[in-house]
Amino acid sequence: MYKIFLPTLCLSFCSFATTAQPSYSFLQAGFVKTEIADLESFNLNGYELRASAEIGYGFFAEYKHTDSSDSLDGFKLETLQRQFSIGYIHNISPQMTLDYRLGLGNFDMTGTRDNDSASADTDYFSVATNLRYQLTADVEVFGGLEVQNWDGDADQKAYRLGAQYDLWGFLTGIEYTKYSDQEIVNMSIRYAF
């Protein structure tokens, strides 16, 4: 009897629920913590807003706005990044998607002390891909790669890893992104529709 009961019990704990594919239509707000290379003394904190919508035939559009700042010894450092992307969703399985994105963005960093300020602003193009897997009905894991071609020679390469948990109809998540010269941790809440 235990030869049937034990494997059945183990499989029931390990089984995955039938799940839908991850949604690309959502609104998201999050808290971000950013560290920039050569500026480790600054502890940049701020927010990120994202809006994404499936526009048909497997295509989607996404807008991302990130704003963070910190002050140290009377010097204030602020960063602002905006990016608009258009992508295509490749359905690999009922639980897994792979998306491809082309984006256009802007990165602005401003330092201010008293009445003096200095700013660096650049536009960039990006190419990215993300793999999203709906592990269970409540848990999604994802990862991706991105290359940004900045004006000048400060191109960025990045990888990202994260997970989301469905909590009463809202997705709570954490995401880690490592760029060539910065690291970002994002804790977010998402409403998918």
Return the DSSP state at 18. Answer: -
**Which residues does residue 183 pair with via DSSP β-bridges, in sequence order?**
35, 178
Return the DSSP state at 94. Answer: S
Closest CA to 128 of 152, 105, 96: 105
pLDDT class of 18 with cuts at 50, 70, 90:
low
Cα-to-chain-centroid distance, residue 166: 17
pTM of the complete model: 0.86
**What is d(CA 23, CA 166) in angstroms, rounded to the nearest whole number?**
12
Cβ contacts of 3 within 8 Å, gap of 6 or more: none
pLDDT class of 7 with cuts at 50, 70, 90:
very low
Return the DSSP state at 22. Answer: P
Task: Give the pLDDT confidence of 100-120 residue by residue, as tens digits.
Answer: 999 999 999 999 998 899 999
Evaluate if residue 3 carries a pLDDT over 90. Answer: no
**What is d(CA 158, CA 138) in angstroms, rounded to the nearest whole number?**
27
Q: How many percent of the chain have pLDDT more than 70?
A: 90
Q: How far is CA 16 from CA 95, 98, 135, 150, in A?
A: 10, 20, 7, 42
pLDDT score at 5 = 39
**What is d(CA 157, CA 105) in angstroms, rounded to the nearest whole number?**
14
Task: Give the pLDDT confidence of 38-66 residue by residue, as tens digits.
Answer: 888 899 999 999 999 999 999 999 999 99
The pLDDT of 125-132, averaged and rounded, is 98
pLDDT score at 153 = 73
The full length of the chain comes to 193
Q: How far is CA 70 from CA 17, 39, 91, 96, in A?
A: 44, 11, 41, 38
List the CATH code of the domain at 34-192.
2.40.128.100
pLDDT score at 151 = 87
Pairing of strands 96-113, 75-91: antiparallel
